[in-house]
Chains A and B, each alone.
Chain A
Amino acid sequence: AQSVTQLDSQVPVFEEAPVELRCNYSSSVSVYLFWYVQYPNQGLQLLLKYLSGSTLVKGINGFEAEFNKSQTSFHLRKPSVHISDTAEYFCAVSDGGNNDMRFGAGTRLTVKP
């Protein structure tokens, strides 16, 4: 079965600074990769997904992620963060079945003024 490791549990950054949230996965088959964001007291929302094609995926709110098959990574980046980006971010991997989407433990991004 596949698994996901988010390498940082907390990432503090200053407003307008760039940020990278790291995600590595393991799987023996082709995968689909996702980033979800969770704002306080809310459910998760899809930020972006990689299914196939271009390895650079653009999502909502200026976020993007790059699929790197050789390094089994799917890191999330934003060139300039805002206070409103403060949230928890989850990386997830699926091989296409119904019950096989695995989530990472989450990275709490805190943007400071």
Chain B
Amino acid sequence: NAGVTQTPKFRILKIGQSMTLQCTQDMNHNYMYWYRQDPGMGLKLIYYSVGAGITDKGEVPNGYNVSRSTTEDFPLRLELAAPSQTSVYFCASSYAEKHNSPLHFGNGTRLTVT
């Protein structure tokens, strides 16, 4: 009963490095989302996808890219890491639009950029 799985759990990057945060779900959900969580700021939506092959920007997309080649996977790419991207990143999925079904979250990836 895995749900939403994120890897890695922790990562330290140097400024300018790149990395991919992995997210996979086994619930056959069409909708997937990437959020970042900063202290005292709640969650901000980075990108979302309503199905394989379809992605769109959220509230804070700058510095990130996503792809959705399969229903299960929704990786988040950081091309040139900056200190402002130090955050906790959460992937989530839902069966239908957010107001009709709950979001299922992964356990997060804690990223530090120095």
Q: Which residues of A contact B (CB under 8 A)?
A: 4, 9, 32, 34, 36, 41-46, 49, 51, 90, 94, 96-99, 101-106
Question: Are B40 and A9 interface neighbours, CB within 8 A?
Answer: yes
Question: Are B42 and A51 interface neighbours, CB within 8 A?
Answer: no
Question: Are A99 and B107 interface neighbours, CB within 8 A?
Answer: no
- The residue on A at minimum CB distance from B58 is A99
Bin chain B's interface residue count. 20 to 34
Q: Which residues of B contact A (CB under 8 A)?
A: 4, 31, 35, 40-45, 48, 50, 56-59, 90, 92, 97-100, 102-108
Contacts of A106 in B (CB 8 A): 40, 42
Question: Are A105 and B31 interface neighbours, CB within 8 A?
Answer: no
The contact of A103 among B4, B42, B97, B100, by CB within 8 Å, is: B42
Contacts of A94 in B (CB 8 A): 98-99
Given A44-B103, A46-B103, A105-B42, output 17 extra A-B contacts at Cβ < 8 Å.
Answer: A4-B42, A34-B102, A42-B105, A43-B92, A43-B108, A44-B43, A44-B92, A49-B102, A90-B43, A96-B97, A96-B98, A99-B48, A99-B58, A102-B42, A103-B42, A103-B44, A105-B40
